[in-house]
Amino acid sequence: MLLHYRTGLATLIQFITLSLLGIANGLDSVITTCGNNRNNCVSNLLVSTVFFLLTVGWFAGIWLVGYAAQDRRSRKLALILIAMELVVLLVATFNARHHTNLISFITSVTDALLAVWVILVAWRLRRAKGGRIVTSERARQRRNPPTAL
């Protein structure tokens, strides 16, 4: 299935993937902390839960903007989505450079790749100017036949 302008589906995939990876990161952090230092176990559990909820809330917001941009074929919403994804890309790049373990590195790289993908899909939607996205020159010619002089 081609996702030429389906920002709603692309952001849903991003939301689900990063939510699952966020759970894995949180569990790894809590297990590591509870195994090494029992005094910080409960506080790390609370911090990890709050961080997970904030992350899920952010990506849920991105998903809603992505769905609205797709549904309305809105150039403004596509631009807002691109801006939100640029923030995600910056944070993911920073996190990948300063990872603490393999799971956080994989999460950051996956986050960055998904952000780039969503940016590309949103850019195509924005470029379409509310119309249908055409992928090949031949398809463009069928849609806009040459005029005779």
The predicted-structure confidence for 22-73, as pLDDT tens digits, reads as follows 999 999 988 888 887 777 888 888 999 999 999 999 999 999 999 999 999 8
pTM here? 0.80
**SS percent in the chain: helix, strand, coil, step 5:** 80, 0, 20
Average pLDDT over residues 67-84: 93
Residue 100 has pLDDT above 80, yes or no: yes
What confidence score (pLDDT) does residue 137 get? 63
Q: What is the DSSP letter of 6?
A: -
Residue 1: its pLDDT value, please? 46
| Mean pLDDT for the chain overall | 87
Domain ranges of the chain: 7-129
Which own/partner pairs from 14-18 qualify as long-range (CB within 8 Å, at least 24 positions apart)?
14/59, 14/62, 14/63, 14/114, 14/115, 14/117, 14/118, 15/56, 15/59, 15/60, 15/62, 15/63, 17/110, 17/114, 18/55, 18/59, 18/107, 18/110, 18/111, 18/114
Mean pLDDT check: name the lowest of 19-28, 90-99, 105-114, 132-141: 132-141
